Amino acid sequence: MIYFILICILFLLMIGASVYAIIQKDLLYAVMATGIISLILSILYYLLQAPDVALTEAAIGVALTTIIFVITIRNTVRMEDESDKKEKFKSAVK
Amino acid sequence: MKKVLVILLLAVLGYYTAATFFDIGFGQPHFIKGLEPVKDIYLAQTVKTLKVSNAVTSIVVNFRGFDTLGEVTVLFLAVTVLGSVLYKKRHEVGERSVLFSASSIVTSGSKLLFPAIILLGAYVFIHGHLSPGGGFQGGVIIATGFLLMLLSYENYSVSHTALSVVESLAGITFAGVGLLGFLHGGTFLQNFLPTGVLNNLFSGGIIPIIYIAVGFKVGAELTGVIYTVLHEKGQSNG
Question: What residues pair up with A79 in beta bridges, in sequence order?
Answer: A26
pLDDT number for residue B236? 44
Q: What is the mean pLDDT of chain A?
A: 87
Answer whether residue B238 shows pLDDT above 90: no
pLDDT number for residue A7? 92
* Cβ separation A74–B140 shorter than 8 A: no
- Under 8 Å between Cβ of A45 and A54: yes
Q: What is the pLDDT of residues A44-86, one digit of tens each?
A: 999 988 999 999 999 888 988 998 898 888 878 888 776 666 6
Q: Which of A48, A68, A74 to mutate to test the interface with B (most CBs of B within 10 A)?
A: A74
* Cβ separation A54–B132 shorter than 8 A: yes
Nearest-by-CA chain B residue for A57: B137
Residues 37-56 of A with CB under 8 A from B: 51-52, 54-56
pLDDT number for residue B52? 87
Those residues whose C-beta lies under 8 Å from the C-beta of residue A81, and which sit 6 or more positions away, are A88
Chain A CB contacts of B236 under 8 Å are 74-75
Q: Which sequence spans correspond to the domains of chain A?
A: 2-79
Answer whether residue B127 shows pLDDT above 50: yes
Q: What is the pLDDT of residues B7-54, one digit of tens each?
A: 999 999 999 989 888 777 676 666 666 667 777 888 888 888 888 888
Answer whether residue A32 shows pLDDT above 80: yes
Those residues whose C-beta lies under 8 Å from the C-beta of residue B93, and which sit 6 or more positions away, are B231, B233
pLDDT number for residue B114? 95
CA B26/CA B31 separation, integer angstroms: 7
* Cβ separation B98–A51 shorter than 8 A: no
Q: What is the pLDDT of residues B48-84, one digit of tens each?
A: 888 888 888 888 888 888 899 999 999 999 988 888 8
* Cβ separation B143–A73 shorter than 8 A: no
User: How many helical (H) and strand (E) elements, i.e. helices and strands, does chain A have?
Assistant: 5, 0
What's the angle, vertex CA B75, arms to CA A59 and CA B118, rounded to 5? 40
pLDDT band, residue B139 (cuts 50/70/90): very high
Nearest by CB to B147, from A67, A72, A74: name it.
Answer: A67
CA A19/CA B45 separation, integer angstroms: 45
Residues 10-39 of B with CB under 8 A from A: none
Q: What is the mean pLDDT of chain B?
A: 84
Strands (E), A1-94: none
**Residue A26, SS3?**
strand
pLDDT band, residue B133 (cuts 50/70/90): confident
Residue A32, min C-alpha distance to chain B (Å): 16
pLDDT number for residue B121? 93
Q: What is the pLDDT of residues B179-192, one digit of tens each?
A: 998 888 788 888 88
* Cβ separation B229–A74 shorter than 8 A: no
CA B76/CA B83 separation, integer angstroms: 11
pLDDT number for residue B31? 64
CA A34/CA A61 separation, integer angstroms: 8
